Structure 1
Amino acid sequence: PEGNSECGVWYADLPAQVLLSHCGFLLGDAEIWTFLLDAWGRCGCLWASSSSFPSPLRGTLCQCGQPRCAHPSVAVEDAFGAAVVTVWDSDLHTTEKPTDAFGDLDFLGAGRKASNFLRLSDRTDPATVYNLVTNIWGFQAPNLVVSVLGGSGGPTLQTWLQDLLRRGLVRAAQNTGAWIVTGGLHKGIGRHVGVAVRDHQTARTGGNKVVAMGVAPWGVVRNRDTLINPKGSFPARYRWRGDPEDGVQFALDYNYSAFLLVDDGTHGRLGGENRFRLGFESYLAQQKTGVGGEWLLPLGIHSPRLRIPVVRS
């Protein structure tokens, strides 16, 4: 990658012929993954040294959340024209570069199978990601998608909601062949969903495996530097515990099957994944799996925008 900026926005555009060449792909084959490098991209936040670009870089931090020194110097005229920039915008103030974070994720000391992960742009085409998850990662297309939102601020969760997750949500997901989508962080509702999935998988005697998918903002993932490898990581050895809490960066939860780490160019800010997650879940809701009926789970609240059940804590 050019420069030393981590203010990356990653854009996925995997052409059909590349997908077809990966139909027989087995996870862990780094040579096949290298074909993805030409199709996936990122953007780096731009730093202009001219005084005509004052506001986003005033002080020690850019508005993206990164230090000024982490940005490559660019000409203001070339990047933004002659306009004075006062508010940083991910869509306007980033440039594309190749991706360098994807592969398998080994949670050190967790004693479980490695998860799949990919760093991608919040502007990524949902259809491209769906093809990746089903055709390359090998997850069966869902008959139901449960989107669990909220509750990321603290570890406390009301007892009734814990019971709902463990006895209702996960069991229903197994019986219907569902995907459970949360933020995937080892905190708040994401952590509780992870525990519910783990407990259910341990106790189950048959049926479908529950797929828990974390859609998290790249800019808040703790120890994300260990995930970066331009050739892919098979696996990336991820330290998820032992670091002091700082309220800015959070570990991924080890009970999830896959992670989509969404980069909108910001660092240390929750919510950068929202645009992609909404589009991705909307795309999932439009897929036909042959089951029929509405994607409605009695345990959830019907989303007014999507035909996807939502559980809010």
Structure 2
Amino acid sequence: MTHHPAQNRQETNQLYTSIGVISHGTITFAEDTSNPAKFISIPSNASVQHVKELLFRQWCSERPPLVISVAGGAKKYTMKPKLLKAFRSGLLKVARTTGAWIITGGTNTGIMKLVGEIVQQNPDRSRPIHLIGIATWGCVSGVEQLAVRGSNVVYPKSHSNASGEAPLEPNHSEFIFIDDGTARKYGGEIEFRAQLTQAISGGFFAPRSACSVNMETPSKAASQSSRPEKPVPVILLVVEGGPFTVKTVHEAVVQNNIPVVFFEGTGRCCNLFAKAVRLYDDNRRNFEDTEGASP
């Protein structure tokens, strides 16, 4: 079935209304003026199902075969050369061969900057990688420029280094900004990001009863489809990281049943988690015997 531009715009506007979009448009970065990034800013309680539908039907045009959500430190970080080589080649290979989406915090700092630089090295420009940034609206440098409705915003290369703010990473293809009413307070996007990735998964890792709930799509456009959606595998990949990464892991694993992979050796909380997992694996039999013992 062929969709005409006018029909696509109408469906997009309907989704924007359902989501409660506050502002939307495109961002042109000084580093690459040929590929504007789409963006929306939305309230923190926006429907993840409608945002998922926007990604599937409008922004990215299709359901992804895999989603890799990357979390880690937002401060300046230098990875050891051997680890960097493995991380770069592995991430790029998976994204290129599978068509996976990559989700990050979207700013030009720490691990997010590193992921953006890796995606920029994609040699096949005919198959662009969807790199989706989910950030807190009040923590984006120059965010006042983005308070538009359908306009293109030219995002300058240089921004102030005010505390609690960070510029956007220019290699991202889509941005979702969570406006929780705060200014210069990081972490407002963490819960929404975990819920959205779980919604995208369609309950891939959830119990059967939970899967039936997550598969529901409330919009009229989705209800017109007679084919049930197939679940999408989603993983959280942790590289280095601090307190906000700990919260991200909790929201993903404990609250939304999303599996996590720790890139051990990258430092800080990632190494701590990896050590804890290994300790548990080494002593699993003892733990199970203790839990099964009669009081």
Change (3 A) 1:219 1:28: farther
Deviation at 1:294, TM superposition (A): 5.6
Contact kept, 8 Å, 2:12 with 2:58, in 1: the verdict is no
The equivalent position to 1:165 in structure 2, one of 76, 83, 87, is 87
Residues 175-186 of structure 1: matches in 2 within 5 Å?
Answer: 175-186=97-108
Q: What secondary structure is seen at the aligned counterpart in 2 of 1:194? A: helix
Q: What secondary structure is seen at the aligned counterpart in 2 of 1:153? A: coil
Contact kept, 8 Å, 2:70 with 2:237, in 1: the verdict is no
More helix by share: 2
Query: Quick check: 1:243 aligned with 2:159?
Result: yes
**Aligned match of 2:124:** 204
Q: What secondary structure is seen at the aligned counterpart in 2 of 1:254? A: coil
Contact kept, 8 Å, 1:25 with 1:136, in 2: the verdict is no
Give a deviation string over 1:30-58, Cα, whole Å, max 9, x none.
Answer: x87665664443xxxxxxxxxxxxxxxxx
Query: Quick check: 1:145 aligned with 2:64?
Result: no
Q: What secondary structure is seen at the aligned counterpart in 2 of 1:136? A: helix
- Give the distance between the partners of 1:293 and 1:226, measured in 2 at CA: 35
- Give the distance between the partners of 1:125 and 1:298, measured in 2 at CA: 24
Contact kept, 8 Å, 1:168 with 1:299, in 2: the verdict is no
> How many corresponding residue pairs?
228
**Aligned match of 1:281:** 197
Deviation at 1:292, TM superposition (A): 8.1
Percent same amino acid at aligned positions?
26
Letter in 2 for 1:236: V
Give a deviation string over 1:200-231, Cα, whole Å, max 9, x none.
Answer: x2x2387x4321110111110111111112x3
**Aligned match of 2:269:** none
Q: What secondary structure is seen at the aligned counterpart in 1 of 2:34? A: coil
Deviation at 1:153, TM superposition (A): 1.8
Change (3 A) 1:255 1:294: closer
Give a deviation string over 1:254-302, Cα, whole Å, max 9, x none.
Answer: 10110011122211011000110010111122267988896569999x9
Query: Quick check: 1:192 aligned with 2:114?
Result: yes
Contact kept, 8 Å, 1:148 with 1:310, in 2: the verdict is no
**Aligned match of 2:141:** 222
Contact kept, 8 Å, 1:218 with 1:263, in 2: the verdict is yes
**Aligned match of 1:232:** 150
**Is there any run of 5+ residues in structure 2 with no aligned partner, and where?**
205-227, 240-248, 267-295
Letter in 2 for 1:226: Q
Deviation at 1:109, TM superposition (A): 4.3
Q: What secondary structure is seen at the aligned counterpart in 2 of 1:114? A: strand
- Give the distance between the partners of 1:297 and 1:129, measured in 2 at CA: 19
Letter in 2 for 1:133: L
